[in-house]
Structure 1
Amino acid sequence: MLLRKIILSILGIALVVGAILFSNYLIANKNKPKPQRPKVVKTVFTDTVNNSTIPIVISASGNLVAKRRVELFSEVQGIFKGGSKLFKPGQAYRRGESLIRIDASEYYASVQSAKSNLYNAIAAIMPDLRLDFPEVYPKWQSYIASFDLNKSTPALPQMTTEKENYFITGRGIVSNYYNVKNLEQRLSKYTINAPFSGVLTEALVTEGSLVRNGQKLGEFIDTSVYEMQVSISKSYSDFLKVGEPVVLNSLDGLKTYNGKVIRINGSVDLATQTITVFIEVANSDLQEGLYLEAQLEARDEPDAIEIDRSLLLDSNEIFAVKDSML
């Protein structure tokens, strides 16, 4: 019993001493000042806002295509004849120069025969005209005197009376004349001349080839003027106008060209909700197929400032610094 009392007394004293020490520890910690958090200063880059009139520029890109292009097809059959220039891609031609010549010697003989028949038919009625229509004889005499088989057949003299018209038509003169003009028209199709100055971009026949009716022979383009087709969001359609200037840049940014809007498609693409805009540009350095970036001036926005889109928060907010506070 005595031992038990001694143990309990020691435990009681230990608990009292422990409680006193713990309470002193808590009091000491309570009176300690709280640690100060270090002030973190962030560095931001700012710019002074100076509002001004800012042009709204729409960016787009596309490939150049020749504004004037001719696909060359044959309307007659014959042997392709060589000319002063080789019919090869890259060959330049001036306006009016012969692009294609097809052998027409056989057909030419048929045309000359028809012209000769017309001449003979008119010559055969001249005595009757002298006797029955002396008032119109001089003009027909002048016509037959100027008739040249090696030149295009001139138009028949104007018939002034019904009797003259019946007489000339009844002798087959008019039908012979239009038959000759039809043959001459077809004869002209054996030669294709350049409709404008440009370059041959495709050649599908060579000298000596047999050309058939309806066969494609090549492609010819005007290298002085090009078009570029770009797609613009429908939301910008009200800002664009025909004739608006456009700045075109090469991909490397080293060359700049000036163009203009020449057409705006009136329909909207159902899939992309965009409209098609056509830009015209002329420069001797340009080539078909060249990829360019276009900057279209839509309109001017007054009292505004231009910033990078990445600085926007939720597409319509931005940080501002006032009195060193962000």
Structure 2
Amino acid sequence: MRKIILSVIGVLLIIFSFIGAQKLIASKNKPRPVKEKIIKTVFTDTVKNTTIKIVIPATGSLVAKRRVELYAEVQGVFKPSHKLFKPGQTYTKGQTLIHIDANEYYASVQAEKSNLYNSLSAIMPDLRLDFPEVYQKWQNYLNGYNINKSTPALPKMSSDKENYFITGRGIVSSYYKVKNLEQRLAKYRISAPFTGVLTQALVTQGSLVRSGQKLGEFIDPSVYEMEVALSENYASLLKVGEPVILNSLDDTETYKGLVSRVNGSIDATTQTITAYIDVENETLKEGMYLEAEINAKEEENAIEIDRNLLLENDQVFVVRDSILDTMPVKPVHFSETSVVLKNIPDGTVILEKNVPGAYAGMLVKPFKEVISKKDAK
């Protein structure tokens, strides 16, 4: 019995060994799987050279083109008027901004005018006797003299004798003294040089104003200008009268402006040149920040692409027979997001979007071909 069991076990071992050997032989003859080549799908664009307008972006704040800082040249009490001297108050041209009490000074002016009138009256008898030919001229001046009005200019001297006589009596010096006092009297009243609005008020009505004290600021809100600093590379491109598009920082409003002035010198520290842009709009306010788009020049036979697509050593990826390759290019202008390139022939297929890990010799498939195959199915 024992011999029978051992015989059966031996036969089974032989059978299993044979089956295992057959499986090993079969596994050696099985072909290895071939790895499929990975082909990336990319977005491409076909080059078509055109004329590209080079736009220089710049930001700056608005400042009133016509502005006046108000200073007192005389001393006195600020007299109340029918308009409050407060920021935001509007005035028309010639309207009184500030009126300083000048009663005391006015009395001294009138006294000098009276002295001049008395001096003229005193010489009239001598003029009648010694200079009868000019007497009527001076008599007419005296008749028209009014101390409550501005002193008129003295009659023109017709001879040296008349000049010596009038000057020797102190008439000329007295006249210029009166005119000097009248000029100073006019400084007690400050009028608006143009129609505008008060933006700063540093004194209140009834307060004492001292000579040399700043009183406020007055601007014309109809015209503003924006100062922008640009790279010295654009010095030869900026032209006076060039139209400029101005945008608010949130891109909700657009305004039209003109380059009014360009500084003739370059800042030695920053190597920038300053340009001034005029803009008119009722909605604008002083101090607003705007972004300017200045048309510098037009570059012919060029294209504009995303700045990230430009490789080191001034090269870009091109697609040739489903394989990526590089091509040297000539950058002519950089902006924050794009670059203007030249020396790319028309019809060249370039990448439209950046491909992570891209390299020369990489197999690619344009996205347009993938779509067309799906449509065909």
TM bracket (short chain): 0.7 to 0.9
Partner in structure 1 of residue 263 of structure 2: 265
Partner in structure 2 of residue 239 of structure 1: 237
Partner in structure 1 of residue 203 of structure 2: 205
Counterparts of 1:173 and 1:268, CA distance in 2: 56
- Structure 1 vs Structure 2: percent identity of aligned residues? 67
Deviation of 1:315 after TM superposition, in Å, equals 6.7
Counterparts of 1:105 and 1:94, CA distance in 2: 26
2:60 match: secondary structure: strand
Counterparts of 2:307 and 2:108, CA distance in 1: 75
AA of the residue aligned to 2:152: P
AA of the residue aligned to 2:48: N
281-290 or 310-319: bigger deviation:
310-319
Counterparts of 1:73 and 1:108, CA distance in 2: 20
Partner in structure 2 of residue 83 of structure 1: 81
CA RMSD of the aligned region, Å? Answer: 2.1
Among 295, 298, 308, the alignment partner of 1:297 is: 295
Deviations 1:284-315 (A, max 9, x none): 11111100000011100011122221222127
Partner in structure 1 of residue 177 of structure 2: 179
Counterparts of 1:281 and 1:315, CA distance in 2: 42
For the structure 1 residues 44 and 78, does the alpha-carbon distance in structure 2 shift closer, same or farther, using more than 3 Å as the test? same
AA of the residue aligned to 1:68: R
Partner in structure 2 of residue 276 of structure 1: 274
Deviation of 1:262 after TM superposition, in Å, equals 2.0
AA of the residue aligned to 1:206: T
Among 225, 228, 253, the alignment partner of 1:227 is: 225
Deviations 1:14-37 (A, max 9, x none): xxxxxxx8xx979974x6544222
Counterparts of 2:146 and 2:113, CA distance in 1: 9
Counterparts of 1:96 and 1:58, CA distance in 2: 42
AA of the residue aligned to 1:299: K
Counterparts in 2 of 1:119-130, with a 5 A limit?
A: 119-130=117-128
2:315 match: secondary structure: coil
Deviations 1:233-280 (A, max 9, x none): 122222112221111100111211111222222333334322222222
For the structure 1 residues 315 and 69, does the alpha-carbon distance in structure 2 shift closer, same or farther, using more than 3 Å as the test? farther
Deviation of 1:47 after TM superposition, in Å, equals 2.6
Deviation of 1:320 after TM superposition, in Å, equals 2.4
Matched, 1:100 2:101: no
Counterparts of 1:315 and 1:81, CA distance in 2: 73
Partner in structure 2 of residue 139 of structure 1: 137
So what's the TM-score if we normalise by structure 1? 0.88
Counterparts of 1:269 and 1:153, CA distance in 2: 51
Counterparts of 2:30 and 2:276, CA distance in 1: 78
Answer 1 or 2: which has greater strand percent: 2
Counterparts of 1:223 and 1:58, CA distance in 2: 27
2:265 match: secondary structure: coil
Counterparts of 2:271 and 2:114, CA distance in 1: 65
Partner in structure 2 of residue 116 of structure 1: 114
Deviation of 1:171 after TM superposition, in Å, equals 1.0
Partner in structure 1 of residue 310 of structure 2: 312
Number of aligned residue pairs: give it.
304
Counterparts of 2:135 and 2:313, CA distance in 1: 90
Counterparts of 2:313 and 2:105, CA distance in 1: 74
Deviation of 1:223 after TM superposition, in Å, equals 1.1
Counterparts of 2:150 and 2:239, CA distance in 1: 48
2:185 match: secondary structure: helix
Counterparts of 1:315 and 1:94, CA distance in 2: 62
Deviation of 1:43 after TM superposition, in Å, equals 2.1
Counterparts of 1:187 and 1:26, CA distance in 2: 124
243-252 or 304-313: bigger deviation:
304-313
What residue ranges of structure 1 are gaps of 5+ in the alignment? 1-20
Deviation of 1:74 after TM superposition, in Å, equals 0.6
Deviation of 1:152 after TM superposition, in Å, equals 0.5
Counterparts of 2:272 and 2:142, CA distance in 1: 65
So what's the TM-score if we normalise by structure 2? 0.76
Deviation of 1:128 after TM superposition, in Å, equals 1.4
Counterparts of 1:228 and 1:184, CA distance in 2: 40
Deviations 1:94-141 (A, max 9, x none): 111111000001111111111111111111111111111111111111
For the structure 1 residues 171 and 26, does the alpha-carbon distance in structure 2 shift closer, same or farther, using more than 3 Å as the test? farther
Deviation of 1:84 after TM superposition, in Å, equals 1.9
Counterparts of 2:231 and 2:41, CA distance in 1: 38
